[in-house]
Amino acid sequence: MKMKSVIVLGIVLLFGTVAFAQDYAKVEVPMYYSFMRFNPENSNVVSGFSLNGGGGGVTVYVNHVLGFTGEFNGYASTTKTFRFPATANSPCPAGCTVTGSGDMFSYNVGPVLKYRGERWEPFVEVLFGGVHSNTYNNLFKACQANCTTTLTPSNNAFDFVIGGGLDIPVSHNVSIRPAQFDFVLTRFGNDFTKGNQNQSNFRYNGGIVFRW
């Protein structure tokens, strides 16, 4: 009798596991608010500033853990006063203050790994793509009277994203994403970055995810 009960329990657990593996959202479409802390130059000669915007994308899962995602993020133009120090590596060696604006648009693809719990679904991601910003070009125009920059900066660069977040399912088709935190590496290279073509940036996303 005990053996029969064990066998029945094993069958129930087996089919329950199979059902769990099959009953997962195969497509997710997030829509969210996005905050970016952008550092135009890692040594802080060109000071960082905050960008606010939003984004969305689509993730397609090949099983209940592994998926591939594509995302797009846009950030509104922000005007900031930049104070360049009087140092040898400054764009204005004599020191100066200029006002410039900058916006940003990014597009990335890559794999995502998600753990599917009953009440929460943490995930991690690694993405690659590109980013567009007019920050450096606008600084170039503002600095022409005082700065030593000579080449018009490119508005486009490669970027790399690594991070993760948490989804909280509220129904079969909807979940809330209260927090997603990413490190975003951009590779703009111009006279303002002084040979350091890596910019280390921080990103937060939060919003809603539609699932099918």
pLDDT tens for 66-94 read: 999 999 999 998 899 988 888 887 888 88
CB 42 within 8 A of CB 199: yes
The mean predicted confidence, pLDDT, of the chain is 88
What is the DSSP code (8-state) at residue 121? Answer: E
What is the DSSP code (8-state) at residue 6? Answer: H
* pLDDT higher at 154 or 5: 154
The stretch 4-24 carries a mean pLDDT of: 50
Q: What is the pLDDT of residue 106?
A: 98
Closest by CA to 31, choosing from 183, 167, 197, is: 167
The CA distances from residue 110 to 2, 74, 129, 197, in Å, are 49, 18, 9, 22
Q: What is the pLDDT of residue 5?
A: 57
CB 78 within 8 A of CB 48: no
- Of the pLDDT bands very low, low, confident and very high (cuts 50, 70, 90), residue 190 is confident
- Of the pLDDT bands very low, low, confident and very high (cuts 50, 70, 90), residue 11 is very low
Q: Which domains does the chain have, with CATH numbers?
A: 25-211 (2.40.160.20)
- Percentages helix, strand, coil for the chain (3-state, rounded to 5) are 15, 55, 30
Whether residue 148 has pLDDT greater than 90? no
* pLDDT higher at 33 or 17: 33
Q: What is the pLDDT of residue 17?
A: 41
Q: What is the pLDDT of residue 16?
A: 44
* pLDDT higher at 189 or 161: 161
Instruction: Give backbone dihedrals phi and psi of 63, rounded to 5 degrees, phi first.
Output: -155, -170
- Percentage of the chain surpassing pLDDT 90? 62
Q: Which token pair is 123?
A: 């995930």
Whether residue 96 has pLDDT greater than 90? no
Whether residue 13 has pLDDT greater than 70? no
Q: Which token pair is 170?
A: 């509220």
- Of the pLDDT bands very low, low, confident and very high (cuts 50, 70, 90), residue 15 is very low
Q: What is the pLDDT of residue 196?
A: 81
Q: What is the pLDDT of residue 39?
A: 92
